[in-house]
């Protein structure tokens, strides 16, 4: 590692002491669809838009590994995907060419971001439980600093615990890369997909990176890879061994970054991307439950847990919500907005119970409680009592201060997305 100056505020921490995990979901949208429809497991599956009759524009959002074997790729035109992998429904209706076999067809499903966000929120809860610092990069990947949670001697076991827990509790697969730096951990998570686990220990980074094609370097896309090859640089080892000046001349400041990353030098720290927008806790039953009592007992437990986390994080909240997942995998959310930010665990429990009443007689697979519209302040904690007075100082019934409404900060979905009583899941992530 470089012996140059360190970033301010790191107190001389040795870079090689850091243990960074990069957790990356495998074909996340497809994995989510398979949660809803287990019969899709092992089948070629394409998630995208524009494949229905009459649609003229569309693209592939995610292709399962089985679909990729037919040449279907993310961001591909849906028309190309359909040529390479006809729809199974078209085959069964006798609408494909005679020479097309059933095994050469696949399933297509539309993008359902609300549902994917719901699953992602469950994954994030596990990540935050396993690490002190989490940087959420996108819906399906995150960096974790687990330096204080494990040691290099057992880092592989710790990473395996994260991977296996997500698969066991959520039902989706992820690949995990572990390294002393963020960029190397990112490369390591891609090294053995799907369901992979790659650990690059201190002192092994240069050896691990050297044989990799330049395309695999963190931040290198097709255009940059082509330009690097034009310079005679085929592998990360070639980039690491070259004079950095030509790289800087060609790519500017990015050229120095490419050179550093190829040598395994990356002094970035895992830092959260701003304050979280919500806290939630969810738990599933072993099988759907119809009796009200077990469901309300779980609501109490989840409400206490989410309120406790908000207190520990120093957060006030304006919105309280519940989620009820009914068979086969119908996700229902309800929430209530308050007149001002509070910290009141008893109120969280009371409102969560009240919001859940419409589902108390339904079979339920999973429950969740959420607080949102967070404010992180250093002021005294607020409680329900502080909102029981109107502006003129007169007493008012606290229940009058509550209203069933979406948070003001969230846009209303277009069209009929909330048909059949289901709320948007984007507000429950």
pLDDT (tens place) for every residue of the chain, 429 residues total: 334 333 333 333 456 689 999 999 999 999 999 999 999 999 999 999 888 877 767 889 999 999 999 999 988 889 899 999 999 999 999 988 888 999 999 999 999 988 998 899 899 989 999 998 999 988 899 999 999 999 999 999 999 999 999 999 999 999 999 999 999 999 999 999 999 999 999 999 999 999 999 999 877 888 889 999 999 999 999 999 999 999 999 888 888 999 999 999 998 899 887 677 788 888 888 889 999 999 999 999 999 989 988 888 788 999 999 999 888 778 899 999 998 889 999 999 999 999 999 999 999 988 999 999 888 864 344 444 433 333 333 333 322 222 223 333 333 223 222 222 333 333 333
- Strand 197-199, strand 174-179: pairing: parallel
Residue 168 is predicted with a pLDDT of: 93
What's the predicted TM-score (pTM) here? 0.65
- Torsion sign, CA atoms 91, 95, 96, 101: positive
Residue 356 is predicted with a pLDDT of: 96
Let me know: does 115 contact 242? Beta carbons within 8 Å: no
CA distances from 179 to 67, 182, 218, 368, 391 (A): 31, 7, 13, 34, 55
Could you tell me the two tokens for 238?
């070639």
Give domain limits for the chain. Answer: 15-27+116-262, 29-111, 278-428
> Does the structural domain 278-428 have CATH classification 3.30.365.10?
no
Which CATH number is 29-111 given?
Answer: 3.40.1170.60
- Residues taking part in catalysis: 141
> Does the structural domain 15-27+116-262 have CATH classification 3.30.70.270?
yes
From CA 207, how far away is CA 237, in angstroms rounded?
8
Residue by residue, DSSP assigns 5-19 as: PPPTTSTT--GGG--
**15-27+116-262 against 29-111: fold identical:** no
């Amino acid at each position: 590692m470089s012996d140059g100056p360190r970033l301010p505020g790191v107190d001389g921490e040795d870079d090689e002491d850091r243990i960074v995990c990069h957790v990356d979901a495998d074909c996340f949208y497809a994995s989510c669809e398979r949660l809803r429809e287990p019969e899709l497991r092992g089948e070629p599956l394409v998630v995208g838009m524009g494949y229905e009759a009459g649609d003229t524009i569309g693209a592939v959002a995610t292709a399962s590994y089985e679909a990729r074997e037919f040449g279907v790729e993310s961001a591909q035109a849906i028309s190309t995907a359909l040529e390479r992998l006809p729809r199974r429904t078209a085959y069964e209706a006798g609408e494909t060419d005679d020479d097309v076999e059933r095994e050469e067809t696949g399933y297509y499903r539309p993008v359902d971001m609300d549902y994917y966000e719901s699953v992602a929120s469950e994954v994030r809860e596990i990540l935050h439980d396993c690490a002190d610092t989490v940087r959420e990069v996108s819906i399906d990947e995150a960096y974790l600093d687990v330096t204080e949670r494990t040691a290099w001697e057992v880092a592989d076991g710790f990473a395996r615990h994260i991977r296996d827990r997500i698969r066991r509790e959520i039902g989706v697969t992820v690949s995990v890369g572990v390294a002393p730096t963020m960029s190397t951990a990112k490369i390591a998570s891609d090294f053995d997909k799907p369901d992979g686990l790659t650990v690059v220990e201190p002192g092994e980074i240069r050896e691990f990176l050297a044989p990799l094609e330049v395309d695999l370097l963190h931040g290198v896309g097709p255009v940059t890879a082509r330009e690097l090859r034009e310079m005679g640089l085929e592998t990360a080892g070639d980039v690491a061994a070259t004079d950095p000046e030509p790289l800087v001349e060609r790519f500017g400041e990015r050229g120095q970054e490419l050179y550093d990353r190829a040598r395994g030098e990356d002094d970035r720290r895992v830092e959260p991307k701003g304050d979280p927008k919500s806290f939630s806790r969810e738990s599933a039953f072993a099988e759907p439950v119809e009796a009200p009592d077990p469901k309300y007992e779980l609501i109490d437990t989840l409400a206490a847990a989410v309120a406790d986390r908000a207190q520990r994080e120093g957060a006030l909240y304006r919105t309280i919500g519940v989620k009820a997942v009914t068979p086969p995998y119908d996700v229902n959310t309800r929430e209530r907005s308050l007149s001002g930010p509070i910290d009141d665990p008893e109120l969280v429990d009371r409102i969560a119970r009240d919001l859940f009443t419409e589902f108390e007689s339904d079979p339920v697979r999973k429950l969740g409680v959420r607080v949102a519209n967070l404010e992180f302040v250093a002021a005294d904690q607020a409680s329900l009592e502080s909102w029981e007075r109107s502006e003129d100082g007169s007493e008012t019934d606290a229940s009058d201060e509550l209203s069933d409404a979406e948070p003001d900060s969230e846009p209303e979905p277009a069209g009929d997305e909330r048909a059949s009583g289901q709320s948007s899941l984007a507000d429950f992530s």
